[in-house]
Structure 1
Amino acid sequence: MSSESTAGLAERVARIEARQEIEELKYRYLRACDHKDPEGFRACFVREGADIDYGELGAFATVDQLVGLFRQIALARDEQGHRVLDMHHGVHPEIAFRSPTEATGRWTLRFRQLNLVDRTERVLCGEYDDRYVVEDGAWRLARHHFRSLWSLTRPLPEGYVVDEKGLL
């Protein structure tokens, strides 16, 4: 195998590994949302300068502002437990590399939320538009935009029971 072929193979392997790391980053982000983990959520973003726009939830000048809203919504509790329970599924990733340390990505979000205060269930489909950069040797979100494609909100049925024993 020529050195040119070896270099090309090494670049392809590096790109495959980088793609896997970016997918794992997104999965950590989604899992942190569902597990109500503000520290894990924050760790998915660059330290400073992120471009964040969540559509109807608003745009944020800093990641820490977003984490504040996350804490306010996700961690809210009453005597029965959490007020809101979420389920995020990121599917159909499209990842493109601009360089070995920068990439863009699009994901479809399948989202389900139980609002136990309003007694409603919301099902939503949306799109993430991301930019990823390597910071301190790890991929992080530098741009994170979300737009809803459609949603459905319906009342929870009478007699529903929520079991959140597995959620701290």
Structure 2
Amino acid sequence: MNPMDTLEARLRALEDADAIRSLKARYFSCCDLKDPHGMRECFAPGPVRIDYGAIGVFDDRDALVAVFERLGCHPHIVEMHHGVNPQIEVIDERHARGKWGLHYQMLDTRERAFTQLGAYYEDEYRKIDGKWKIAATRCVVTSTLVGSYDPASPGVRFAGRQAG
């Protein structure tokens, strides 16, 4: 490989890693903004592997979106997803993988409850028609805090690795 080819390959890998960071940021934003269509478009069409632990395991993006709409797309559910410490490895021009930390907060204004959790994602990405998509993902919860801010019963309901 001549020096120009090497430089082009390095530049492409940097651009691909940046595009993957943007993809994951878009995914988090779509979750927070209650945008099921936008969230769906972050995933590859067809068979995928989505393992969100207690939320469920899904074989296609539409199954995940259906659960998202049922559980999260309500005005009284206020979510904040903060993806941190991305570790992205571009394998080749069409495949990459990554690991992300997650700090998540959810306020349920109807129940006057909150959830805060720490987790990490293990992702696989595939470039389809020139755009990176999530082809597989696994979210592993590492810490959970569930509490109430209802004046009648304030306090911690659960603290540990993962609420049941």
Q: Is TM-score (shorter-chain normalized) higher than 0.5?
A: yes
Give unpaired runs (5+ residues) of structure 1.
77-81, 159-168
Deviation at 1:157, TM superposition (A): 5.1
Q: Tell me, yes or no, if structure 1 residue 88 matches structure 2 residue 86.
A: no
Q: Tell me, yes or no, if structure 1 residue 143 matches structure 2 residue 103.
A: no
Contact 2:118 2:143 in 1 (8 A): yes
Q: Tell me, yes or no, if structure 1 residue 25 matches structure 2 residue 12.
A: no
**Mean CA deviation greater in 95-104 or 27-36:** 95-104
Two-structure CA RMSD over aligned residues (Å): 1.4
Contact 2:34 2:72 in 1 (8 A): yes
Q: 2:115 maps to which residue?
A: 122
SS in 1 for 2:43: coil
Counterparts of 1:26 and 1:108 in 2: how far apart (Å)? 11
TM-score by length of 1: 0.87
SS in 1 for 2:30: helix
Q: Which amino acid aligns with 1:14?
A: R
Q: 2:36 maps to which residue?
A: 38
Q: 1:61 maps to which residue?
A: 59
Kindly provide the CA deviation profile for residues 10-58 of structure 1, in whole angstroms up to 9, marking residues without a partner as x.
1100000000000000000000000000010000000111100001101
What is the number of equivalent residue pairs in this alignment?
A: 152
Kindly provide the CA deviation profile for residues 107-134 of structure 1, in whole angstroms up to 9, marking residues without a partner as x.
0001000022332111100000000000
Q: Tell me, yes or no, if structure 1 residue 156 matches structure 2 residue 149.
A: yes
Counterparts of 2:124 and 2:149 in 1: how far apart (Å)? 37
TM-score by length of 2: 0.89
* Fraction of identical pairs, as percent: 32
Contact 2:118 2:144 in 1 (8 A): yes
SS in 2 for 1:118: coil
Q: Tell me, yes or no, if structure 1 residue 102 matches structure 2 residue 95.
A: yes
Q: 1:165 maps to which residue?
A: none
Q: Which amino acid aligns with 2:72?
A: A
Kindly report structure 1 stretches of 4+ aligned residues shifted beyond 6 Å: none
SS in 2 for 1:15: helix
Counterparts of 1:133 and 1:68 in 2: how far apart (Å)? 23
1:50 aligned to which of 48, 68, 91: 48
SS in 1 for 2:10: helix
